[in-house]
Amino acid sequence: MILKKNKFTFSLLLFIGFGAFSQSHSQKEIYQAYDKIVGLDNTGLYNGTEFNDPFLNTDGTFRYFNGFDYSRGTVEYNGQFYSNVLLKYDLLEDNLITRSDDNLGIFNIKLIAGFVKAFSVHGHDFVKLDNTNLSIAGNGFFEIGYLGEEVNLYIKRTKKKRDKPLRTGVQYKFSETILYVLNTNGKYYEAAKAKDIREIMPEKEKQIRQFYKGHKALSKSNPNSFMIKLAQHLDSLDKNSKK
């Protein structure tokens, strides 16, 4: 990933002493110092449209990833990298939301999807995939499950909304669906379970069946972990076959 800042970063590094600072601080910490001094309102992060959530009356469920509240994260947006910013990932419409609570006052901004290259929130890393030729709706944001030499695995999270009429209005309920995307030999494939992987890679059907038998309990208790471990296993098979 190429991380870029504008010309003010150079002035910042001169101000704080590039040599000493870079020896004891990571690139992420340099950007955090930059954003603190320059101010996020002087950058391009808030280049988007105002976001208002009309579905606040829920049964306790939510349209967002891993909670209703904002969480500190990072985003690469319109060619620039921003760290320690407030983010929410909207799984209902596949949008990334940010919020200003500094000099601009408090408001919600829906980032322009085409400008978002990658982001991290709640300890999970997401990337925008273009030209996958998949029939998956949305803006193309996928969680990174596993990145290997021959096999990559991505996790696609979506949410659906159901309406429940009440005397006082409408109550909303959100449910999550998870789909997996396997990337191998330059192509992307949709998969929901190990059986689908066998159809994608029939030459490895025996190995996939053996792996499933040894990790059957994990496949039921934690499907994400199971699919990630399966992708790692398949990638190791490809690497070993080329030695």
**Residue 9 predicted with pLDDT over 70:** no
**Residue 42 predicted with pLDDT over 80:** no
Helical (H) or strand (E) element with 154? strand 151-166
Domain boundary assignment for the chain: 1-38, 39-241
How does pLDDT run across 126-151, given as a tens digit for each residue? 999 988 888 888 999 999 999 999 99
Average pLDDT, the chain: 84
200 three-state secondary structure: helix
Of 26-35, 78-87, 176-185, the poorest mean pLDDT is in 26-35
Cα separations in angstroms, 104 against 73, 133, 187, 218: 19, 40, 44, 47
How does pLDDT run across 203-225, given as a tens digit for each residue? 999 999 999 999 999 999 999 99
Q: For the sheet containing 107-111, what is the strand order?
A: 48-50, 107-111, 95-100, 80-90, 71-77, 116-121, 124-128, 141-147, 151-166, 169-184, 187-191
